[in-house]
Structure 1
Amino acid sequence: MQNLQSAFGILALIAVAWAFSEQRRAVAWRQAAAALALTIALTFVMLKVPPVRAFFAAANAPVEALAAATRAGTTVVFGYLGGGPLPFDPKMPGGGFILAFQALPIVLMISALTTLLFYWKILPPIVRGFAYVLARTLGVGGAVGLSTAANIFVGMVEAPLFIRPYLAKLSRSELFVVMTGGMAGIAGTVLVLYATLLTASVPDAAGHFVIASVLGAPAAILIARVMVPEIENAATEGSLEEPEPVAASTMDAIVKGTSAGLELLLNIVAMLIVFVALVYLVNAMLGILPSVGGAPITLQRMLGTVMAPVCWLMGLPWSEAPAAGALMGTKTVLNEFVAYLDFAALSPEALSPRSRLIMLYALCGFANFGSLGIMVAGLTTMAPERRQEIVGLGLKSIIAGTLSTCVIGAIVGVLT
């Protein structure tokens, strides 16, 4: 019965996306059905065929190499703050992880690398290749497909860097797919950390995180196309124009890419500080209200109550839905890192093994208010002419990213 409950949840979650759609009559249901079928097929293959699952687990190696290369630089500059050996024993799992000095600097590396790849004429043919393949499967243009696929391995800001010259040309629907793709996945830089946190809670957590990252791409396209359907001629469908040269030489490309990455990094840090601080202030104001159930009212609790039915739709028993909903609320208001910490601290009785597996996938995304600040800062820096549109789609992208990971969780529930 729980499998049927999850199957019903898939349809219900898509219906919720349709309820938030800007143009309900314009939804291309054939494309949505294709994206759903692809997501289900990939889930079945990667969960039920061990060799395929092992292959995708190994695909994270290039990302780890890039993260290790960045860590080598941050260690020289920041020492143990940048990822070097700790001179002390951390008191909690992940206690030595510092976002600003270890994860965010990869933006510099990605920015310089992508500028080089564009200058060397390596990325433009890849973009056109994605346009050819994805236009015949899910009807997604090459630039959007490349950014969405890049989100399997890198974060919501690094992935759009791969298509920076095309961001200004994207249609509104394509821009929303890019934003939803960022919200529906996590970066390779934190994947290993989260897997370490949940090793004792979910068997083979690392493999599941890689699979969740892969599934985030088609699921994001599914939900994004339902919520913001394509109603204009997409700028990156079919043939793509050759972008203007990004640099005059290889060294110029490195310098320009690093400079652009530095500006991006500073914007990300500033926006993240402000958004987390604003959430703290809201919770402080809510603290004036009388406690409910022996605990103060917070944004996390409020969203947890709202998210409990969503967790039930994914296939969790109602008795476990409030605890799971609290995790979803924490992930949405703060971030998935804090949610996974709370997940790891849950007693074995709080969630069954099946429910834990579903929640691993449901929480595996950057859809939260802090990430919204990061995304808005990043995309508006890369495409300042789209600032108003990016800000306007921001809150909608959180909903889309959350629905995307919840659909993945429901599909896992069907197959588990």
Structure 2
Amino acid sequence: MASSVECELVEMTFNGNGDISAAKDVEKGVVNSAFTQSNSDQDSQKVIVVVSEGSNDKIESEGSASADQEEANCSAAAGCMMDRVSNWYKRNATSVKYAMKWTLLLLWIVYFIWTMIYNFKDGFDSSNEPAIRLISLNACAAFCVSYWAIKKYYGSQIWKGLQPFITKVSHFANNHRLMVGWVLPCFLIIAFAAVIIVDVALKDPSRLVSLVGMVVYISLFYVFSAHPSKVRWRPVILGLLLQFIFAYLILRTCIGYVTFKWLGDRIQEFLEHTDVSSKFVFGDSYTDHFLVFKVFPVVIFFNTIISVLYYLGVMQVIVEKIAWLMLVTMGTTTGESLNAATNIFLGQTETAMVIKPLLHGLTKSELHAVMTGGFATLAGTVMAIFMMFGVPANHLMSASVMSAPAALAMSKLFYPETQKTQVAIEDIEELAKPQESSIVEAASSGAMAAVKLIANILANIIACLAILEFFNQTLTWFGAAAGLKPPNYPELTFELICSYLMYPFAFIMGTPIADCKKVATLIGVKLFTNEVFAFSTLGALRKNRLFLESWENPALNQTLKYDIADECYILMSNSYSGKCLPAMSERAETVAIYAIGGFCNVGSTAIMLGVLGAMLPNRKKDLASTVFRAMIAGNVACHMTACIAGLISGPEAMNPETCQLYIT
């Protein structure tokens, strides 16, 4: 029986003579099935007839049915009842959904109240992390639901009420362009200078080297700008100020430090769930092959979660709000603002897919900004890899957030806008919607996409390390032929060349002189190979520093001796001597994290051209002519972020000890 046909169950009486006495008129229906029900009276039986509406055929029934027919008829009757239930649900679907939502909400409220009573029955305790996490989750959910409800039901009324005020402000801005365009930025610059003088210059003048580095980069970019006379200083100045505000909140206030540290710890804890799957698939010794069996499963897991969040629409909301903030404050266009915001969470390939509907309307300057944003920031998926190397999660997150406005600022300085943009803020609604039909399909798509990403990373690592080793062996051979060999001279290697070539850039970012060569080497390795190899080296240096700090103990006669020739620390004790470990200061590590925190390397230019060229085949010439400028701008954006970190990072920077009150 077709499920679309409405059914009726009709009871009729059948006597021994073959006549049917029906309880209701069934002339309008068609008997689809019937089954008998025996009575104590041997001369009659009850016949239950399944009648389908919509036909004028006469009813035909038989007074007896076989056992097989009875079973079939019962199934038909059950199907008819299911159709009735289905039709009832369709008529009352909205009410049922609301009832389920309110029931779940009520259960959650009861659960939340009970957990608060249970956890704080002896008084409020800020060190009760699970309870604090639950409070934070509920506060965030309440804010989002309230914002959604207000916007949906009262948004138009609020906008109508604010429109006269906004109109007045707009008229004032148009009539006082000088004040808005110059006085306000000058005021912000003066406030910035005051903070630098009071908080940096008077306490540690050596950190002003980082400020000099910012001035040097801005000056060079202005001199070599594609159109120096067309530079709009608003996005440049306000972009750098946004960078400074983010850095100050994260590095110099306990609230910002604790917030990002808490988020970093939670992400680290979240990613550790992959250990169960790695152990199940690869065995107990999976950590013996750290990169393949420990790190890459994290990439699959994280990419799956990002895909699910995009399917649910969570990421779109976050990205759009960040893009709106940049658009309003910096005055950048819709396309480049949205791209910069998306790059905080996704890589250059995924971001291009998200903003694909907007790409065809972008100007050449906007395309340059899109590529710069892709080069200057870190994708969340790759960020998870660097966390596995031991790089602090809070610094990685803040580096990606800070580099987003820096990328726009440097891009607008290096390649100013000379055309009128064709993309409006309303075009955001045209962004690609998720293609998946369910959350399970979204999770599967994310996992499969991660496999391609892993293959790309693995292929690049194998190729880059092989080429680097070949290059180093070749350089070492030529150097040895000219007398450059130990013990009198260090071996001639790619890293040695980079340590001298990038030395000035490392110095003007505020790196301590003793660590400039190590930071310069990391910058060179990242630029000419890839960021994964650079961060793995940085992670090893950080682990060495932490070990050396725990090793040094005069009471146990455990000391350290610095070897100037090899630039490493020798472990000394009564029972052990000789192992030499390279390490950097904590300040140098901080500067290095921000300096190499991006995809800006030579290999990424080919990826960028391949992705955007496939989407914009008619603009390959524009892409090819600007991609290397964008790669340079992305590097300098990261270096500007490192300069600000070097300017603010110091003895006054927040750490677990100074923020102990907030943490506990």
State the TM-score bracket (shorter-chain normalisation). 0.7 to 0.9
Aligned-pair distance for 1:30? 2.8
The 1:143/1:257 distance shift into structure 2, 3 A limit, reads: farther
Aligned match of 1:143 = 335
Aligned match of 2:374 = 182
Aligned match of 1:22 = 226
| 3-state SS in 1 of match to 2:479 | coil
| Aligned partners of 1:180 and 1:400 also within 8 Å | yes
| Aligned partners of 1:276 and 1:370 also within 8 Å | no
CA offsets, 1:85-121, max 9 Å, x none? 554243475453565x763797788679758869xxx
Q: Does 1:306 align with 2:501?
A: yes
| Aligned partners of 2:320 and 2:338 also within 8 Å | no
Aligned-pair distance for 1:412? 1.1
Tell me which moved more, 365-374 or 403-412.
365-374
Aligned-pair distance for 1:39? 0.7
Aligned match of 2:405 = 218
Aligned-pair distance for 1:12? 1.1
Aligned match of 1:193 = 385
Aligned match of 1:353 = 586
Aligned-pair distance for 1:147? 2.2
How does 1:255-334 map onto structure 2 within 5 Å?
273=459, 277=463, 280-281=466-467, 284=470, 287-289=473-475, 290-291=478-479, 293-294=484-485, 299-334=494-529
Unaligned runs of 5+ in 2: 1-204, 542-567, 570-581, 651-664
Q: Does 1:153 align with 2:340?
A: no
Q: Does 1:397 align with 2:585?
A: no
Q: Does 1:6 align with 2:201?
A: no
Aligned-pair distance for 1:268? 9.5
Q: Distance in 2 between matches of 1:131 and 1:330?
A: 32
Aligned match of 1:341 = 536
Q: Distance in 2 between matches of 1:283 and 1:17?
A: 34
Aligned-pair distance for 1:156? 2.1
Aligned-pair distance for 1:414? 1.0
The structure with higher relative contact order (CA 8 Å, sep 6+) is 1
Candidates 220, 227, 236, aligned match of 2:423: 236
| 3-state SS in 1 of match to 2:608 | helix
Q: Distance in 1 between matches of 2:447 and 2:206?
A: 47
Candidates 169, 173, 176, aligned match of 2:365: 173
Aligned-pair distance for 1:47? 1.3
The 1:341/1:329 distance shift into structure 2, 3 A limit, reads: same
Q: Does 1:206 align with 2:401?
A: no
CA offsets, 1:191-237, max 9 Å, x none? 243234236xxxxx221111111111111111111111111112335
Aligned-pair distance for 1:364? 1.5
The 1:89/1:281 distance shift into structure 2, 3 A limit, reads: closer
TM-score normalised by L of structure 2: 0.51
Q: Distance in 1 between matches of 2:606 and 2:213?
A: 30
Aligned match of 1:378 = 611
| Aligned partners of 1:130 and 1:142 also within 8 Å | no
In structure 2, give the amino acid aligned to 1:408: T
**How many percent identity over aligned positions?**
25
Q: Does 1:55 align with 2:250?
A: no
Q: Distance in 2 between matches of 1:266 and 1:413?
A: 36
Candidates 293, 298, 304, aligned match of 1:96: 293
Q: Distance in 1 between matches of 2:524 and 2:358?
A: 34
The 1:258/1:299 distance shift into structure 2, 3 A limit, reads: farther
The 1:17/1:245 distance shift into structure 2, 3 A limit, reads: closer
In structure 1, give the amino acid aligned to 2:358: Y
Tell me which moved more, 238-247 or 45-54.
238-247
Aligned-pair distance for 1:360? 1.7
The 1:246/1:150 distance shift into structure 2, 3 A limit, reads: closer
Aligned match of 1:364 = 597
The 1:20/1:301 distance shift into structure 2, 3 A limit, reads: farther
Aligned match of 2:236 = 32
Aligned-pair distance for 1:50? 2.3
Aligned-pair distance for 1:44? 0.4
The 1:32/1:343 distance shift into structure 2, 3 A limit, reads: same
Q: Distance in 1 between matches of 2:617 and 2:449?
A: 13
Candidates 163, 182, 191, aligned match of 2:355: 163
Aligned match of 1:202 = none
The 1:157/1:104 distance shift into structure 2, 3 A limit, reads: farther
Aligned-pair distance for 1:14? 2.1
| Aligned partners of 1:272 and 1:373 also within 8 Å | no
The 1:242/1:46 distance shift into structure 2, 3 A limit, reads: closer
The 1:95/1:19 distance shift into structure 2, 3 A limit, reads: farther
Please give the root-mean-square deviation of Cα atoms over the aligned residues, in Å. Answer: 4.2
Report the number of matched residues: 398
The 1:341/1:380 distance shift into structure 2, 3 A limit, reads: same
The 1:285/1:4 distance shift into structure 2, 3 A limit, reads: closer
| Aligned partners of 1:144 and 1:236 also within 8 Å | no
The 1:414/1:274 distance shift into structure 2, 3 A limit, reads: closer
Aligned-pair distance for 1:130? 5.9
Q: Distance in 2 between matches of 1:161 and 1:258?
A: 18
More strand by share: 2
| 3-state SS in 2 of match to 1:44 | helix
Aligned-pair distance for 1:5? 0.8
Q: Distance in 1 between matches of 2:320 and 2:427?
A: 7
